[in-house]
Structure 1
Amino acid sequence: MTEVLGRLSFTDDSSRDLELREYGLDPATDSTLLPNTAVMSALQNLVRLAAELCSAPFGVVNIISAEYQHQIGAWGVDPGVCSREDSMCAKVFLSRERTIVSDASKDPRFADNPFVTGDIGKVRFYASVPLQTESGFVPGTLCVFSNKTNELSPQQVGMLEVLAKQVVELLELQHRTVQLDRTYAELKESNAKLAGFAGRVSHDLRIPLTTILGYVELVEDDPDIGGHSVAAEYLNRIGASGRRMLGMLEDVLNYSRVGGGIQPTQLSLQDVAVDVIRDLGIENDGIVEVQDLRLSADEAQLRVLLQNLLSNAMNYRSQERELRIRISGVSNYQGATLFVADNGKGINPEDRAKVLEPLVRLRREGDGPGSGLGLATCSSIAKSHGGELSLTETPGGGTTVAISFPAGA
């Protein structure tokens, strides 16, 4: 019995190979194409199920390139490669319809094929279903075959088509994985270029700024220019502007550096926080309460994160109460979540997503200086560890920042 539905349609071979590469199946050589390990294992199970369902000893998933047929999943035979000219599936797969042949030696399309004549094999029963993606591309087939003649019931044919759809789902998963890997590689390269550019710009601008500020300090110490003169006022403004610019350069440099290669280690939250508190000069003020916690994170980035969050809490403190900051966290088998809670002005719910964007400031009355990169930098640090940052209100007023650090980051 022979069943062939539909008409043949053809595709440009070079376009076919480009499309296969998009699915992570590089047909540039005659070696066997290998998707990732998880896809391979699932393909093996589906091919086995298809073969046993059809009472056939052999089953394969064929990927057909411009020149070759690659078996990326096989049951009953070792996966291999043959020329497209020798392939049985290559003769019918572009029909986009199933092909079921009870005895291939009596079918004019396959009678002289080396897989039928005995040159390569002695296939008799042959059934294949094209693997058609949502875009209409057909990379190959799910095929079962036997050295003996066979017939399939309508139920078996239906289930074979269902299994072919499952194979397509796996190939689409492979496709999305390839796209994500490519995007990640491009993002990593972009981040590296950004960090290099920011480093050069920061270096080139910091040297003249530091020189200007040095001269400003020298002139300020000149007894002839002091007190409340107009010159002293101008020098004070120049110095303040220069220091703000230096601070912004450092913020831009920190922001450009995060998201690159991290080196997580087991850290004590208390040890890192105490160092940051000391650097900010608030270790003796009783402002910050720290709860210890073990977490896996990049030490340098965790330090930048805490420094930004504590600086924000100090800049946006409430005038109605003494500033208090609590650093705490929880951990379990999934990782750790760090909380930095202050009792400052707080952030309105409608502004919380906005302030995580780079260079966004709320500019409220009484707010301290800032570049609008602090929370954006902290959010990037969380993402570089595979986690996320969220903002909520502290009970009684203020802002609580939650940062997750997944296990194995």
Structure 2
Amino acid sequence: MSNLSYPLPENEDERLEALASYDILDTMPENDFEELTHLASEICQTSVALISLVDDKRQWFKSILGHDAKETPREYAFCSHTILNKNDIMIVPDARKDERFLANPLVTGNPNIVFYAGVPLVNEDGFALGSLCVLDTMPKNLNARQLKSLRILAKQVITQMELRRKLARLEKSNQNLLETNSFIQKFASTAAHDIKNPLSGMLLTSQALQMRLGKESDDKSKRLLDLNITSTKKLLTLVDEMLAYSSAPSSLLTNQNCLDLNTLLKNVVSLIDVPYGVKINLPQVDHTLTCSSVALEQIFINLLTNAIRYNDKEGGVINIQFREDSDFYNFKVTDNGMGIAEKNLDKIFYKELTLNVIDRFNQKGTGVGLYTVKSLVEKLQGSIKVESQIGSGSTFIFSIKKNAGVEEDDELL
């Protein structure tokens, strides 16, 4: 057992935590680091060059040139001393004459270190993780140009480590996103199937009842039955669109169709619960659009549902306006409801953010609806904003690009 000791930095726990965040210890050699050690050896004219990372018990070599060691105990590590001074190179011209190292097994035995020069590898948070160092078996010194070059190479080592960490985090985020999107697609598909089955049963039952009643039923019963059948068919169409989208998300942008805006809006209104006393005014003039009807329906379902839920007036009014220019379809949805505080206008589109406001049905929102609206609008290469005043209502203003999504977008979710 070695009697050698080594000093510890004051922030050792935080330093070790920072080192662990790079997930680099015990990884395979990488060419970018190998090239930097080769350059260090060539510039400083030494037989050994290495990139050393110091953990709690050892120094581990991410790259080493001129020796075959993979690691050494921390008490043998010259770098244990190097990381104490983050601001400068540590130079040992002759370790045999230095009290700190003269009994070190790496000096008295293989690889017989005599000369050492190491630059601390200091990350962007100020932690010295290890060093880029050069070694030789004879006394030596470095000139000013060599010292400057060694410092530059050390910065490049840290740059490579930062890039490596950021790439790993990005890959992990992408993997999490892919897994989440896959789950969402499967959930949407399963939910749509689960909804479709009882809806189909309702439609068949209603049609059978319609045939049985025939001419015997009164006009009011017939109207109610016809309304039930019509609504069920609309819901089945919507579910089919959900199924198509869950199996092929690109269809949101690529499936463009020519549609009549007021017809689409009337269909949306028929799908939502509009309480007595709430009036929805559609554009006075008919307009023909070419865009994704699925996306536009979802946008209006969410906006109109919110406008109804958060309207505290006896006579609720919602106005929908439309204007088109050379590049965009432009919409306004204005209500006379509760309104939104100015400090919250930038927050309401955040995912799962709620303002703890109770709606007219004594319920709180989930924070998903407006996030969905914003996501859909942006996928349609448009933008959305809101203007509002507490007590007076809100106006949601959004645009979607004409022919948005003609070119397929591979990253829709």
- Structure 1 length-normalised TM: 0.61
Report the count of equivalent residues: 297
Counterpart secondary structure, 1:135: coil
Match of 1:34 among 28, 31, 34: 28
Counterpart secondary structure, 2:258: helix
What's the counterpart of residue 403 of structure 1?
A: 408
Instruction: Report the alpha carbon displacement of residue 143 of structure 1 after superposing the two structures with TM.
Output: 0.8
The correspondence of residues 101-140 of structure 1 with structure 2, limited to 5 A, is: 101-118=92-109, 120-140=110-130
Match of 1:66 among 56, 65, 79: 56
Q: Residues 21 and 121 of structure 1: is their aligned pair in 2 closer, same or farther, counting only changes over 3 Å?
A: same
Aligned residues of 2:250 and 2:408 also touching (Cα < 8 A)? no
The correspondence of residues 95-244 of structure 1 with structure 2, limited to 5 A, is: 95-96=85-86, 97-118=88-109, 120-222=110-212, 224=214, 229-244=219-234
Counterpart secondary structure, 2:63: strand
Q: Residues 161 and 147 of structure 1: is their aligned pair in 2 closer, same or farther, counting only changes over 3 Å?
A: same
Aligned residues of 1:225 and 1:232 also touching (Cα < 8 A)? no
Q: Give the partner amino acid of 1:402.
A: E
What's the counterpart of residue 84 of structure 1?
A: 74
Partners of 1:399 and 1:89 lie apart in 2 by 58
Partners of 2:219 and 2:160 lie apart in 1 by 76
- 1:9 equivalent to 2:9? Answer yes
The correspondence of residues 229-268 of structure 1 with structure 2, limited to 5 A, is: 229-253=219-243, 255=245
Aligned residues of 1:60 and 1:142 also touching (Cα < 8 A)? yes
Q: Residues 244 and 105 of structure 1: is their aligned pair in 2 closer, same or farther, counting only changes over 3 Å?
A: farther
Structure (1 or 2) with the larger CA radius of gyration: 2
Instruction: Report the alpha carbon displacement of residue 198 of structure 1 after superposing the two structures with TM.
Output: 3.0
Partners of 1:147 and 1:21 lie apart in 2 by 32
Aligned residues of 2:57 and 2:74 also touching (Cα < 8 A)? yes
Aligned residues of 2:43 and 2:146 also touching (Cα < 8 A)? yes
Counterpart secondary structure, 1:161: helix
Aligned residues of 1:305 and 1:378 also touching (Cα < 8 A)? no
Instruction: Report the alpha carbon displacement of residue 242 of structure 1 after superposing the two structures with TM.
Output: 2.3
Aligned residues of 1:72 and 1:79 also touching (Cα < 8 A)? no
Partners of 1:378 and 1:215 lie apart in 2 by 41
Q: Give the partner amino acid of 1:360.
A: I
- Structure 2 length-normalised TM: 0.61
- 1:46 equivalent to 2:40? Answer no
Q: Residues 214 and 235 of structure 1: is their aligned pair in 2 closer, same or farther, counting only changes over 3 Å?
A: same
Match of 2:289 among 345, 364, 385: 345
- 1:21 equivalent to 2:12? Answer no
Partners of 1:78 and 1:145 lie apart in 2 by 14
The correspondence of residues 346-385 of structure 1 with structure 2, limited to 5 A, is: 359-361=298-300, 376=376
Q: Residues 191 and 399 of structure 1: is their aligned pair in 2 closer, same or farther, counting only changes over 3 Å?
A: closer
| 1:68-106 per-position Cα deviation (integer Å, ceiling 9, x unaligned) | 211111222235122222222123213213201111111
Instruction: Report the alpha carbon displacement of residue 141 of structure 1 after superposing the two structures with TM.
Output: 0.8
Instruction: Report the alpha carbon displacement of residue 24 of structure 1 after superposing the two structures with TM.
Output: 2.2
Q: Give the partner amino acid of 2:43.
A: L
Instruction: Report the alpha carbon displacement of residue 137 of structure 1 after superposing the two structures with TM.
Output: 2.3
Partners of 1:79 and 1:164 lie apart in 2 by 21
Q: Residues 63 and 204 of structure 1: is their aligned pair in 2 closer, same or farther, counting only changes over 3 Å?
A: same
C-alpha RMSD of matched pairs (Å): 4.0
Partners of 1:79 and 1:221 lie apart in 2 by 88
Partners of 2:191 and 2:127 lie apart in 1 by 47
- 1:315 equivalent to 2:314? Answer no
Partners of 2:196 and 2:150 lie apart in 1 by 68
Aligned residues of 1:115 and 1:123 also touching (Cα < 8 A)? yes
Partners of 1:116 and 1:186 lie apart in 2 by 49
What's the counterpart of residue 383 of structure 1?
A: none
Aligned residues of 1:125 and 1:145 also touching (Cα < 8 A)? yes
Aligned residues of 2:93 and 2:140 also touching (Cα < 8 A)? yes
Partners of 1:191 and 1:121 lie apart in 2 by 54
